[in-house]
Amino acid sequence: MDIALTLVVNPDCSTSLEKIEQAIAGVFEGRPINRAVLSDNKALDLTFDADPGIKVTLAEILDDIDGLDWCLQSAENRRKKMILADMDSTMITVECIDELADFVGMKEKVAAITEAAMRGELDFEGALKERVALLHGLKVADLQTCYDERIELMGGARTLVQTMKANGAYAVLVSGGFTYFTDKVANAIGFDMNRANILGIEGEALTGKVVEPICGAATKLETLEEQSAKHGLGRDDILAVGDGANDIPMIEGAGLGVAYHAKPKTRAAAAAAVTYGDLTTLLYFQGYSDAEFVQ
């Protein structure tokens, strides 16, 4: 089985693909390599025969290079047929619940709970209920204001989803956040479906409760399994991406699970990570070149 190594450098860093190739040249000495440029001076694919020893050695070298995102995987079936993605701090640049809390003067307190929950230090469901309770009385109109003024798509989000969809993939947005936002974000990016938590509303204000059942880590994995079965796909057909501890089951359940600018616990559980680049890095990991991107 051939192995594909994808190297993606951050153009703002001093690291260059040339320097990286020089650093790993000794690992491949006497071994044939197929080299394909995916993006000039930014992304490169190296394909070679599988060897467990080489994989370990490469990881040791590449992990120490600043400004580099990399992925080592089977060269077969790289272009995934389904993407499951988290929303907050993955497909958008903020945590919606933290921004909502700012409208009631509780952002600092809520953000601290969010951070601890995403790091896996708190039970997700309990932390969600605690934070939503602090939103009691928030006007529904403020949700729209929050979306209009504070929600920004993550760099490369639309290009990632639209490129995969143009090549036959199905796109699922599954979030521990709220349907009020996932409905809008899914539409803006082009996801085929979305799943998230429902905020309790009475009259024109939030009740401070979440409608059961809660969409947490288990729901994300269940969604992966449900949608893969529905579309007749195997584990290796699926890409999952997220940043928090509640994304770990979904990331571990995918053929390619990626931690995106993620918390340490999530990074440790993922097959690959994006630390420096935007979401188009996930296209390079699948072997797409710039010329194939749908802008």
Write the pLDDT tens digit of every residue in 197-241.
Answer: 999 999 999 999 999 999 999 999 999 999 999 999 999 999 999
The average pLDDT across 84-91 equals 98
Catalytic residue among 45, 69, 88, 98: 88
Q: What pLDDT does 30 receive? A: 79
CATH number of 79-93+153-295: 3.40.50.1000
Active-site annotation holds for 63? no
Q: What pLDDT does 105 receive? A: 97
CATH number of 1-76: 3.30.70.1150
Give the length of the chain.
Answer: 295
270 and 262 Cβ atoms separated by less than 8 Å:
yes
Q: What pLDDT does 1 receive? A: 58
pTM of the model: 0.96
Give the domain ranges of the chain.
1-76, 79-93+153-295
Q: What pLDDT does 52 receive? A: 73
Catalytic residue among 12, 45, 51, 86: 86
Q: What are phi and psi of 2, to 5 degrees?
A: -80, 145
Q: Output 12 or 171, whichever has higher pLDDT.
A: 171
Please give the Cα distance from 26 to 31 (Å, whole number).
10
Q: What percent of the chain has pLDDT over 70?
A: 100
Closest CA to 106 of 118, 97, 117, 116: 97
pLDDT tens for each residue of 134-191 = 999 999 999 999 999 999 999 999 999 999 999 999 999 999 999 999 999 999 999 9
Q: What percent of the chain has pLDDT over 90?
A: 92
Active-site annotation holds for 236? no
Amino acid 51 reads D
- Residue 256 token pair: 């390619």
| Average pLDDT of the chain to the nearest whole number | 96
162 secondary structure, DSSP code: H
**Bond prior to 213 in cis (omega within 30° of 0):** yes
Helix (H) or strand (E) holding 111: helix 107-118
Chain centroid offset of residue 33 CA? 30
